[in-house]
A and B are shown apart, each in its own frame.
Chain A
């Protein structure tokens, strides 16, 4: 699945009715719907794409048989699909996969008003654990390298100030490291700007 589709699922906050929001809460840990949400999140984070029923069954029950798959499928269709928390994707006739529609949710309550139905938000935005977000490894590598080169440039200048290196060496290495840092920043800005804004909050 392409990064832009996954990023939209991370960056967009989904509104959830109260009766659907309960599946996210800790109090629902024993519910299969809750376990399915977290399983899909974990598996699609590793796979960077939607996952199959068999994979979800294996993750939750440690067994992948038809009865377990049916259990999961019915739970998804009766609850999570209707709530709009999970999306069902048909890849081929016998290849159906599932993915979360979002990783950040806002509990809402429906209210009637003179101008038409609206909803009001309740509480703060709920986020699934960030370790389960389908952010590519490349993002973390780039962010870490950015920090590495930034610190390296500080040390380079510090070493020059104490006379450890000559001006020539400073110029050459400074230019090279800045070029590398600029490339890293460009990659982050073009590919991951929205992700960075949310993750760095």
Chain B
């Protein structure tokens, strides 16, 4: 019997799942360590210790049932006052005990329930979890805070919160462009499943080199925005509105349109310059110059009076043509054709290099190349 005791020391008499360590001087007197759990959160057990000291390990958390767990909050030694333990979700709490006599250790634990939330990164719990995870003590009330807007790409693409669901019940949320949405307090008497609903929004940019464009802003994906540009009263060179550049645009008025916001989008108001008034004024001015010059030279040499006014008007018309903005790369000008052919050649070379680097499959490469050549 003594041999049995010497070889098998520190064996729990009624213990389960408990690792213990014992590195002190052995003695021949053994003592019992009674381990108890307040409110029967785990089975009580006893350990027979044949040493001066003993280190007791206790896991911080253990399973209660399918949806909850117990978490350690305090311990009491020999029926004295409970001493709080720093809270933790995982790992073991250790207690070094002097085993000169029998001892009673009582652990106190609380049930905890999880808040099951998708996408925890943008969510704040208030108060925070006592175990620094998503588990909360039974009976506590928790609020979740989440930004109204998650900007995925600056001035391009964002998500705006529109509703939230708790355990299958959905509520709508009044929309806002900034700040935090806070749920009402959620009582932790059970596990809860929470999710948030968002709408995708895209930024519509309305640009114009002339006048005052309106309609810039954030719009729900797929919605229709009204865009407009208010022209300025130019004189003598007039800016003439010639339409909108962009996809999904439906003209609704002389300067207005509807744009479907199916992606981050920029729409640009197009303008051409109307020199007709300027030319007329210029012509009148030139005629005026001619008239004045003619009057001035009336009393001078006849040949000079005939030559100079004609040169001045010819020079003015040439300048007009040289700054004509309607002259574009699509005209049959020889150099324009040459430069555009060069642009197409370089465009095709780039497509070929994308194909060679594995970015494009054979089919897509052929299709894109054909389309580029067709549009040339």
Contact = CB atoms under 8 A, between A and B. Distances in A.
Interface of A: 2-4, 45-46, 112-116, 129-132, 137, 140-141, 143-145, 147-149, 151-152, 155-156, 159, 164-165, 168-169, 172-173, 175-177, 183, 186-187, 190-191, 193-194, 199
Contacts, number: 117
Interface string B355-374: 00011110110011001100
A130 B153 CA distance: 23
B38 interface: no
Given A113-B90, A151-B343, 20 more contacts: A2-B262, A45-B361, A46-B363, A114-B91, A115-B90, A116-B133, A131-B358, A131-B359, A131-B360, A131-B364, A137-B371, A144-B350, A148-B344, A148-B350, A152-B346, A168-B322, A175-B325, A177-B329, A183-B245, A190-B266
A148 B347 contact: yes
Which of B157, B202, B342, B347 has the largest number of chain A CB atoms within 10 A?
Answer: B347
A4 B263 contact: yes
Contacts of B156: 190, 193
B121 to A, nearest CB: 13
A199 B359 contact: yes
B237 to A, nearest CB: 16
A176 B326 CA distance: 10
Interface string B137-174: 00000000000000001001100000000000000000
A192 B372 CA distance: 20
Contact of A115 (B132, B245, B364): B132
B212 to A, nearest CB: 20
A190 B350 contact: no
B90 A155 contact: no
A147 B347 contact: yes
Interface class of chain B by DSSP? mixed
Contact of B343 (A2, A114, A143, A149): A149
B13 to A, nearest CB: 31
Contacts of A4: 157, 200, 202, 221, 263
Contacts of B88: 114
A144 B347 contact: yes
14 contacts: A2-B221, A114-B90, A115-B90, A130-B358, A132-B361, A137-B367, A140-B364, A144-B348, A145-B343, A173-B336, A191-B263, A191-B264, A193-B156, A194-B153
B369 to A, nearest CB: 9
Nearest to A144: B350
B225 interface: no
A116 B90 contact: yes
Contacts of A159: 335, 339
